[in-house]
Structure 1
Amino acid sequence: MDKAKEMMLFNQSFKYIDDGVEHGILSKFNPGTMELKKGYQVDQRFMPLLCDVIFERDVPVKLRDGVTIYTDVFRPSGEEKVPVIISWSPYGKAAGTAPRYTNLFGMIGIPDSELSGLHKFEGSDPAYWCNHGYAVCNPDPRGIAHSEGDIYMIGTQEARDCYDLIEWLAEQEWCNGKVATSGTSYLALSQWFIAAEQPPHLAAINPVEGFGDAYRDLIRRGGILDVNFASRLQVNHVHAGKPVRREDVHDEGLKYPFANCELWEDKIAKFENITCPAYVVASYSNTLHTPGTFRAWRSMPKENKWLRIHDNQEWPDFYKEEQQEDRLKFFDHFLKGIDNGWEKTPVVRYALHDFEGGHYEGIEAETFPPKGTEYKKMYLDGATRTLSTTLAKADIPAIYDSEASLAQASFLYKAEEKTELVGYPKAKLYVEVDGSDDMDILVYLYKLDKFGNHLQQFVVPNMTARMHDLTDRGGSVLRYKGSNGRLRVSMRHLDEEKSTDEVPAYTFDREEKLHKGEIVEIEIEMFPIGMLLYPGEQLRFIVSAKDEVGGIMPGTPAAPPVNFGKHIIHCGGQYDSYLQLPVRLQ
């Protein structure tokens, strides 16, 4: 970590507005302990407490290097020792009532009345968990708000800081010695790093959609630079009083283009070191977190881990009553020792999208992909623009001008019978460029109805006209349009140790530019899928020079691909370009 710290780039922290509004109603620094009675509301907009709660506010915790951070702790009133759940992120420990987050939840269709406002954004709600015999710990990591020290973003420093917090919590007189982590997005990705440090009192983790590799998932997915969402995240790096240093991952992304340096290696979670029980939640549709969450699942040791794949966006799923009850059963088993049958829970529960209103969740399996899945190669036919189970005899390339408004080539497949696609698709293509020395290739896999219309699915409760506007060309985590993948061709070098026939992995440690007339083979990792095709419906596979997905969230645009000249996709003959699909036999 020392070498990684030497490479880090820092800028000044943003100003913390300590007005009890900007960062939440209870955000002003005011150390002390109080009892919140059953029925208490932080504001009339929010859900009342379901039991009496002890609120310990701005509690100092000293870390191993002497830095003090501050945390809020909510715990049930009474003498019984209880386990505690940590929500670790830089989003502000009292920000459950912050306008920027209540507005965001309101936009997607989660009203204030469904939460107490005492939760950390994307974290466990004390109203629910205290009522079920758990404490909730909402820390401000180092440098955030009133916590001391410089601000770090993703990696070992954050993990070790939370390790120290876990061990401190386990020693508190009200704690039964069992600590867990839970939450979505940043509160999920942080758990991979924390658990890999193996804190002795970390009893279980519950990561709900979180990437685990800042380079591959956040900064350069497919080797294509996009630092816009990193900039959005860093706005949360606020400090009260004299400014501190904040690590600037945006600038690091610009300075360090290859993954094989200590800085980026420190921002890859060591999944293989995670030994505590893990209840992992994923979806096929999260354009920030999906690849990393499934990579984590594949890389963790097999024992004591469970996977549930849902068909919603992470936030409404996380706060659903039925999912909180499921999480409660998991935590009761591992943090309270309750014999509730959790061990009989299927290792995998997956979902299928039919994009037509069908709701298929909780399909039980022993593995993902489930047994009975076979990978089938669908060859690109440049003459008919179809996907075929047989390779065309001659190479008839598909060509498009990468600088034109229409810069893509499509290939269709029509289902003759009901077909279940579940697992990891990938594309293998033979490509050439005329007029440049590099290519950004983006691929998409869409479902069409029997009339040829592209089917899509909102994954949030709000499906109003405004949500259509917000997600037509962006807000990609809010409306699911199908699987996708991307690759900068000069970054195509495969990692032979980590690649499999199903999922390619890249070293991203070199740049191999193309020469005029050179045809190269590339493999493109695509998002996993769970999709139903009915007879007469079609798949549309698109090879493109354009970003059709757009930004992850409204207000944060995606960085455009960089392309010049004509793209040539060789199909047929000696060039067996294909889309590989995971087909589950009925």
Structure 2
Amino acid sequence: MYRHRLGTLAAAGTLTALLGAGLAAPGGSASAVPPGPAQVRTPPQAAASVASRWEPRPEQYPGTVTTTDLPIRMDDGVVLRGDLVQPANAQGEAIARKLPVIVMITAYNKSVIAAGTGGLGGPGASYLVKRGYNYLFVDARGTGSSGGRWGAFSARENKDAGRIVGWAHRQDWSNGKVGMAGASYMGISQLMAAGHHAPGLKAIFPQVPGADVYRDIVASGGQIDVGFMPLWLALVTGTGLIPPAYVGSDPASAIGVLVDHLMAGGQFTLPLTLRALLGQDPSYDGPFYRERSAIEYIDDVTVPTFMVGGELDLFQRGTPMLFEELQRNGAPVKMIIGPWDHLEGSSGADVGDAGHGTIAELQLRWFDHWIKGRNGHLGEIAPVTYFEQGSDRWRTARTWVDRDRGVHTRLLSGTSMQGGKAGGLRTAPGSGGESTLLPVPVSGLCTRSTNQWTAGILNQIWPDNPCFANNDINDHTGLIFQTRRLDRAVHFRGPINAHLFVSSLGGDGMLSVAVEDVAPDGTVTRITGGWQVISQRKLIKTRSRYLDGRLIQPWHPFTRASKDKLAPGEIAPVDVEIFPTAAVIRPGHRLRLTIQGYDVPHLLAPIPDIPGQALPITLYTGPGHRSSLTLPGQ
């Protein structure tokens, strides 16, 4: 599937091994994850401007001790397995006290995740355990050592999340108070548990969680994510085939678990992938993805939540969406968004750059405050701490989107030619034009998008890749529209909309859009991107987001029924959701919008739609067709 081919599970397994290296780095440290593409720059300035009144407390206990494969029986009889890490005395014996419990639910095999720190494993357990917490790692149903068959956030698995927390709440080594931690899959599980109102759940700390499975990651803009999804499905399947640690003491149960995991691969993972690529039901949004989307579960959640997100993350769209929903609920919620890809955001290695302490210190501060009743001086931390691309500064805000700052709209002007001249981006209507876009099937390959949509794996292998630093070569495979050199800064924060008038020779096609910063020396920095299949352009206004009456975040149904190809010669507006970020285009720089017909290896049309996606698209500008870019801010 990688590089726009269906491939085999063996090919996906090769990439799985690379991602697996980032799951957990035994004996690693915060420096184990190399700097990401957005961090090849002068050191960022921290947001905190005054000394904190909070200081991390010292260790209470000298060691830890682990009990493996505790049986956790669900209400349907399926037995999940958990590893319990407890504080230990100098003799290595568990402390005989009831303590609060931090729970992490993973699909990546608890034995791997609990083995070290870094990567998807985050900061590890020992920091909190030595300060008076128990830590429980649990394999999700059908993964690792747990029984049952994996369903990837199925309703049954989401119910399990609440049941696991309830089980931890009742154990004799627990004082009844539970927190949850973890990144990515483990972060989403926290929101599912909170949505099921798990007893005893006092606080959660999700890093890089997703909100809307279909739009965030499965099919950005209506095409299938073949850069990450096969890799991820193979990762879960592969780690589920590691023999359980209890195979020696209970071989029958262990073999039964492995058989269930193999069956799930054949009955869920592979058929799901093939059906999506063949354009069947999994290629469209619907109940299957709604059931697996955290945003559907948290409409009344008020559990104190600390979130970490990344501007180059797989869940760049979803994390701030979850933050805003929780803030509307009145939950005590805070969010740090930094210049991180998925593995960087998961490890939390550079969270300290935001000025509020390391990831381990922040977790201690959060859980101590909400679980142990210690004063964490949380008022010192703004609701939103974000990295502003362009200025390379950390800034703070009360909300993710600042309604007081309004919106900034630029109109596309004139004509652009691939590999040639650029059109304009103007504040007032400009000249009309027709620009022909020939989809080039290598567009996107030499960009930060490639690293983003393979979860940051490429950054692990080749952090100095020149494609991460300059997008100019890639841009010339598409249409370019840009401002003149700015005489004043343009700041924006939040979701962005591109409103484009197009026609298509094949009646369809992909609009892959990038918002970029062009420096005076010609270096082009990709800030963010968005994608939209033309035939899925139907806009649901009641679910879309407007600011000062202008659209900043379109919502498209992406159903089979909403698919509507253009008629020959038909010109129609298409709204492209560009994923949210925070940036400034400084004076002397240019704001650039680039439009292409592919984003390789990120996206691929379902196989039946591929012929229509490869034909020319015409983009229209000018007073009669006001193609535009709308950004929140000014």
TM-score by length of 2: 0.72
Task: Say if 1:258 and 1:274 are closer, same or farther in 2 by CA, change over 3 A.
Answer: farther
Quote the Cα distance in structure 1 between the aligned partners of 2:400 and 2:289.
28
Look up the equivalent residue of 1:148 and give its one-letter code. Answer: G
Quote the Cα distance in structure 1 between the aligned partners of 2:307 and 2:27.
34
Quote the Cα distance in structure 2 between the aligned partners of 1:335 and 1:92.
27
Match of 1:7 in 2: none
Match of 2:531 in 1: 486
Quote the Cα distance in structure 1 between the aligned partners of 2:383 and 2:364.
17
Quote the Cα distance in structure 2 between the aligned partners of 1:368 and 1:404.
35
Match of 1:376 in 2: 408
Task: Say if 1:198 and 1:23 are closer, same or farther in 2 by CA, change over 3 A.
Answer: same
Task: Say if 1:333 and 1:377 are closer, same or farther in 2 by CA, change over 3 A.
Answer: same
Moved over 6 A (4+): 42-47
Task: Say if 1:402 and 1:386 are closer, same or farther in 2 by CA, change over 3 A.
Answer: same
Any residues of structure 2 matched to 1:322-471 within 5 Å, and which? 322-343=358-379, 345-354=381-390, 359-361=392-394, 363-370=395-402, 372-383=404-415, 385-392=423-430, 395-402=432-439, 407-413=477-483, 414-434=485-505, 436-455=506-525
Flag structure 1 segments of 5+ consecutive residues without an equivalent.
1-11, 13-21, 28-41, 98-115, 456-480, 552-557
Residues 197, 273 of structure 1: 8 Å contact kept: no
Match of 1:524 among 553, 568, 576: 576
Quote the Cα distance in structure 2 between the aligned partners of 1:396 and 1:333.
59
Residues 433, 439 of structure 1: 8 Å contact kept: yes
Task: Say if 1:160 and 1:318 are closer, same or farther in 2 by CA, change over 3 A.
Answer: farther
Task: Say if 1:63 and 1:223 are closer, same or farther in 2 by CA, change over 3 A.
Answer: same
Residue 375 of structure 2 aligns to a residue in which SS? coil
Any residues of structure 2 matched to 1:30-429 within 5 Å, and which? 51-77=62-88, 78-96=95-113, 117=116, 121-235=120-234, 236-237=236-237, 238-239=240-241, 240=243, 241-242=255-256, 243-244=259-260, 245-246=263-264, 247-248=268-269, 249-251=272-274, 253-254=276-277, 255-257=280-282, 259=284, 261-269=286-294, 270=296, 271-286=298-313, 288-300=314-326, 301-312=329-340, 313-318=344-349, 322-343=358-379, 345-354=381-390, 359-361=392-394, 363-370=395-402, 372-383=404-415, 385-392=423-430, 395-402=432-439, 407-413=477-483, 414-429=485-500
Q: Aligned-pair distance for 1:192?
A: 2.5
Residue 264 of structure 1 aligns to a residue in which SS? helix
Residue 84 of structure 1 aligns to a residue in which SS? strand
The answer to which structure has the higher helix fraction is: 2
Look up the equivalent residue of 2:597 and give its one-letter code. Answer: A
Residue 294 of structure 1 aligns to a residue in which SS? helix
Q: Aligned-pair distance for 1:250?
A: 2.1
Residues 495, 578 of structure 2: 8 Å contact kept: yes
Q: Aligned-pair distance for 1:308?
A: 1.6
Task: Say if 1:524 and 1:444 are closer, same or farther in 2 by CA, change over 3 A.
Answer: same
Task: Say if 1:202 and 1:56 are closer, same or farther in 2 by CA, change over 3 A.
Answer: same
Look up the equivalent residue of 1:581 and give its one-letter code. Answer: L
Query: What's the C-alpha RMSD, in Å, of the aligned pairs?
Result: 2.9
Deviations 1:31-79 (A, max 9, x none): xxxxxxxxxxx977789x9722131111111011111111101021323
Quote the Cα distance in structure 1 between the aligned partners of 2:163 and 2:441.
54
Residues 418, 533 of structure 1: 8 Å contact kept: yes
Quote the Cα distance in structure 1 between the aligned partners of 2:594 and 2:377.
46
Look up the equivalent residue of 2:82 and give its one-letter code. Answer: T
Q: Aligned-pair distance for 1:261?
A: 3.4
Match of 2:597 in 1: 545
Q: Aligned-pair distance for 1:521?
A: 0.9
TM-score by length of 1: 0.77
Match of 2:16 in 1: none
Residues 95, 120 of structure 1: 8 Å contact kept: no
Quote the Cα distance in structure 2 between the aligned partners of 1:46 and 1:382.
52
Deviations 1:490-543 (A, max 9, x none): 111122221012211111122101110011111111121211222211122101
Look up the equivalent residue of 1:303 and give its one-letter code. Answer: A
Quote the Cα distance in structure 1 between the aligned partners of 2:300 and 2:185.
20
Residue 397 of structure 1 aligns to a residue in which SS? strand
Task: Say if 1:369 and 1:192 are closer, same or farther in 2 by CA, change over 3 A.
Answer: same
Deviations 1:336-360 (A, max 9, x none): 1112322553222222122xxx542
Q: Aligned-pair distance for 1:228?
A: 4.7
Look up the equivalent residue of 2:424 and give its one-letter code. Answer: T
Q: Aligned-pair distance for 1:268?
A: 2.0
Residues 349, 358 of structure 2: 8 Å contact kept: no
Match of 1:475 in 2: none
Match of 2:41 in 1: none
Residue 409 of structure 2 aligns to a residue in which SS? strand
Task: Say if 1:388 and 1:118 are closer, same or farther in 2 by CA, change over 3 A.
Answer: closer
Return 59-68 or 493-502, whichever deviates more: 493-502
Residues 120, 138 of structure 1: 8 Å contact kept: no
How many residues of Structure 1 are paired with residues of Structure 2 in the alignment? 491
Percent pairwise identity: 23
Quote the Cα distance in structure 1 between the aligned partners of 2:122 and 2:162.
18
Task: Say if 1:536 and 1:517 are closer, same or farther in 2 by CA, change over 3 A.
Answer: same
